Amino acid sequence: MSDLSQLSITTLKGVGAALAEKLKKVGIETLQDMLFHLPLRYQDRTRIVPIAALRPGQDAVIEGSVAVTDVSMGRRRSLVVRLQDSTGSIVLRFFHFSTAQKNGFAKGTKVRCYGEVRPGASGLEIYHPEYRTEQQDTGPLEQTLTAIYPLTEGLTQQRMRLLASQTLEHLTPRNLPDWMPSALAEKYHLGPLNEAIRYLHQPPQDANLAELAEGQHWAQKRLAFEELLTHQLSLQRLREQMREQLAPQLAPSTYLVNQFLENLGFSPTNAQKRVGAEIAWDLAQSLPMLRLVQGDVGAGKTVVAAIAALQALEAGYQVALMAPTEILAEQHFINFSKWLAPLNIEVAWLAGKLKGKARAAALEQIANGTPMVVGTHALFQAEVQFKNLALAIIDEQHRFGVQQRLALRQKGVEGRLSPHQLIMTATPIPRTLAMSAYADLDTSVLDELPPGRTPVNTVVLADSKRPDIIERVRLACAEGRQAYWVCTLIEESEELTCQAAQTTFEELQLALVGLSVGLIHGRMKPAEKAQVMESFKAGELQLLVATTVIEVGVDVPNASLMVIENPERLGLAQLHQLRGRVGRGSAASHCVLLYHPPLSHIGRERLAIMRETNDGFIIAERDLELRGPGEMLGTRQTGLLQFKVADLMRDAALLPNVREAAIELMRSYPDHASPLLDRWLRYGQEYGQV
Ligand code: ADP
Ligand code: MG
């Protein structure tokens, strides 16, 4: 048997080209990929729970016989089946049902079903449970916990489970080598890799579900530790390699910066001046700058970026500014064009959607040395050649990985000089984590907002208040304001999230007749998205229903109301980012967090923080403190740094050991570093090349 990282997923029975294509969308190309495609959570279908023991919010298998079946006419017509066992009874409710389905629930019929228990008007209910009746043969109960995997269109949970179990048959310690040196494994109490993987795909019946849900199981920690360790190794390497590079030394700007500030219309805050000076000093060195500027939403990072850019421009070099989305990049393009035109500096634009002649022209401009280039990550592509790039500015750091930063380096002056890198992020990160997350970067903090901002007023309400809030949207729009209605992510798939946004959009259109309502989500084509954004900016749309795609950079000063549904699903940092989309104009702004009860104690406290403060750094610190057991929300939701298994917030306690282990590994087992990097980093090979 050979290495599972070399075996294509198509070696499994039943996996043809079409299925392989779908699996590729979730990052699965090899058997090893499948093993590292871990479940998001688990369901316990191994035992039947007595009805009397059910609690709201619980997912459970129950079994009973039909006591009454009825069609209820309430607000929405529904089929109501009361199911009883020897301990009590519960209502199964179906909003969509067929006559045959209804007839299947004759009085006395035995039914086994699975679903989420929720409080109803008269006792507990389950909406649309999965079920089988005795006629359909209920079959045996599951032997292991049921894994729920991240999916994409055309894949089902059943299929993923089957693929996982087929792959596990191939798993041996030999074909999935454990690169954790045994001395380190012992010292840090890390179990064997193989066992950890096996356990996480198929946890036994007696597994501790709560522990797994919290990411506290040894198998999860084992993998998280290895992943974080690998991340540390990659940062160490990056730093070392950077120290060997040379960058163009840029003399401080004496002319352009002053011109720019004169035209700007406001004076920089003290924080902007201080950070600007730190950057100016870095740029004058022959070592490439690697600096991260952290600044809360609205702190004015763009001005800082412009000041840095002018230093390189005045020295006669090119500057590239990259943003993670087209919307954001375009906004920068507009700003920089406006700022640089009076200084007679040309600005070029490059994005993925630019095609054909326009694209060729942009590429030529860049190659010929147009001084300022703004765009999306299209700027990273190999075909983009700069004439003399001296500074790369990356906005919203968390969307750009280490690999992309490396790719940038190859775009430096004649391949000899590395460009300086300035990275800007609005995701505040607690100091305790910053060391680990950004070990390779120097950091500056913009800790002051420009004067004259009115803080956003935030309220936290249960979603039973939805009709009132819809009314509030109507009123705000009647007064000429604009509003956002944000649908949060559904863990399993982006597709479901977009569907939810679509449904909400249709519903709000019906409820708000006379308002022009728009929709934007991640599944729309970039051109469609841009068009919707344009209409919203132009005020043609009054209400914008959106997924969290609007999180970064959107700037519509007239929007003064934001409603966020199910805010409990998001990390506080992300909520903070979203909320930063309002409060940009002079009008008093409001943010409504519309949660779905019941909220856990910690959930309640977290949302209360959002109500109490508008300071991103305080929010981040409190968020970390509150992440005790019981909270599964993590970095993935904050958008901070994307790991496969690890979660910087959740696993913060591992970090001191991880750092220590990284140093030990480099000292005593340096040859283990490359295989670890290969395994954990999508483009691990690049580390060898730079
Ligand atoms: P962010 O840090 O979120 O990227 P921006 O750079 O987009 O913030 O700035 C937000 C707004 O504040 C912009 O409209 C910008 O022109 C304005 N701004 C930036 N700096 C100042 C300042 N010193 N005084 C007044 N307004 C400023
Ligand atoms: Mg910005």
Q: Give 177-233 pLDDT, tens digit per residue.
A: 999 999 999 999 999 999 999 999 999 989 988 889 888 899 999 999 999 999 888
424 CB under 6 A from ligand 1? Answer: no
pLDDT tens across 227-262, in order?
Answer: 999 988 888 887 777 778 899 999 999 999 999 999
Domain range annotation of the chain: 9-43+148-206, 51-136, 256-446, 456-613
Tell me the percentage of the chain whose pLDDT exceeds 90. Answer: 54
Inter-residue contact 34 to 28 (CB < 8 Å): yes
**652: pLDDT confidence band, cut at 50, 70 and 90?**
confident
The string of pLDDT tens digits covering residues 33-64 is 999 999 988 988 999 999 999 988 888 999 99
DSSP track, 230-250? HHHHHHHHHHHHHHT-B----
**With a 6 A CB cut-off, is 450 part of the ligand 1 pocket?**
yes
> Mutation test of ligand 1: which of 272, 302, 331 has the most ligand atoms closer than 8 Å to its C-beta?
302
Query: Nearest ligand, CA of residue 302?
Result: 1
Q: How many Cβ atoms sit within 10 Å of the Cβ of residue 130? A: 11
Interior angle at CA 286, CA 285 and CA 291, nearest 5: 60
pLDDT exceeding 70 applies to what percent of the chain? 91
Q: Which of 260, 266, 333, 393 to mutate to test the pocket of ligand 1 (most atoms within 8 A of CB)?
A: 266
Rounded to 5°, the CA angle 334-505-500 comes to 105
User: Rounded to whole angstroms, how far apart are CA atoms 624 and 616?
Assistant: 12
> What is the whole-number distance in angstroms between the Cα of residue 303 and the centre of ligand 2?
9
Say how far apart CA 690 and CA 685 lie, in whole Å.
10
Average pLDDT over residues 15-41: 91
Q: Which CATH superfamily is domain 256-446 in?
A: P-loop containing nucleotide triphosphate hydrolases (3.40.50.300)
Q: Pick the atom of ligand 1 nearest to 452's CA.
A: 25
pLDDT at position 627 is: 58
Instruction: Report whether residue 302 contacts ligand 1, using a CB cutoff of 6 Å.
Output: yes
**Whether the domain at 51-136 and the domain at 456-613 fall into the same CATH topology:** no
For the CA of 269, the nearest atom of ligand 1:
23
pTM here is 0.68
Question: How would you class 102 by CB atoms within 10 Å of its CB: exposed for 0-12, middle for 13-18, buried for 19 or more?
Answer: middle
Find out whether the beta carbon of 298 lies less than 6 Å from any atom of ligand 1. yes
Which residue did the predictor score with more confidence, 544 or 645? Answer: 544
Nearest-ligand number for the alpha carbon of 325:
2
* Residue ranges in 381-493 assigned as alpha helix (H): 402-409, 431-437, 466-478
Q: Which atom of ligand 1 has the smallest separation from the CA of 297?
A: 3
Q: What is the pLDDT of residues 578-599, one digit of tens each?
A: 898 888 777 889 999 999 888 8
- In the sheet that holds 482-486, the strands lie side by side as 457-462, 590-595, 559-565, 482-486, 543-546, 517-520
Helix axes 572-579, 601-612, angle to 10 degrees: 30
Residue 469 is predicted with a pLDDT of: 96
Q: What is the pLDDT confidence band of residue 687, given thresholds at 50, 70 and 90?
A: very low
> What is the per-residue pLDDT across 276-334, written as a single tens digit (0 to 9) for each?
999 999 999 999 998 989 888 788 999 999 999 999 999 999 999 998 778 788 889 99
Q: What average pLDDT does range 372-398 have in this prediction?
A: 87
Class of the 456-613 domain? alpha beta
- pLDDT of 683: 35
Out of 350-359, 492-501, 620-629, give the one with best mean pLDDT.
350-359
- Across the chain, mean pLDDT equals 87
Predicted local distance difference test score (pLDDT) of residue 379: 87
Give the separation between CA 39 and CA 202, rounded to whole angstroms: 9
pLDDT value at position 185? 96
Question: Would the CB of 577 count as within 6 Å of ligand 1?
Answer: no
Number of H-type helices and E-type strands within the chain: 25, 21
Q: How large is the angle between the packed helices 616-626 and 572-579, nearest 10 degrees?
A: 160
Give the pLDDT score at 244. 84
CA atoms within 13 A on the CB side of 213: 13
- Residue 301 Cβ inside 6 Å of ligand 1? The answer reads yes
Give CATH for domain 51-136. 2.40.50.140
Quote the CA–CA distance of 2 and 192 in Å, as a whole number. 19
- Nearest ligand to the CA of 335 is 1
Q: Which ligand is nearest to the CA of 305?
A: 1
Closest among 684, 646, 558, 592 to 229, alpha carbons compared: 646
pLDDT at 168 over 60: yes
**Where does 138-192 have alpha helices with state H?**
157-168, 182-187
Which among 303, 328, 423 is the best mutation to test ligand 1's pocket, defined by most ligand atoms within 8 Å of the CB?
Answer: 303
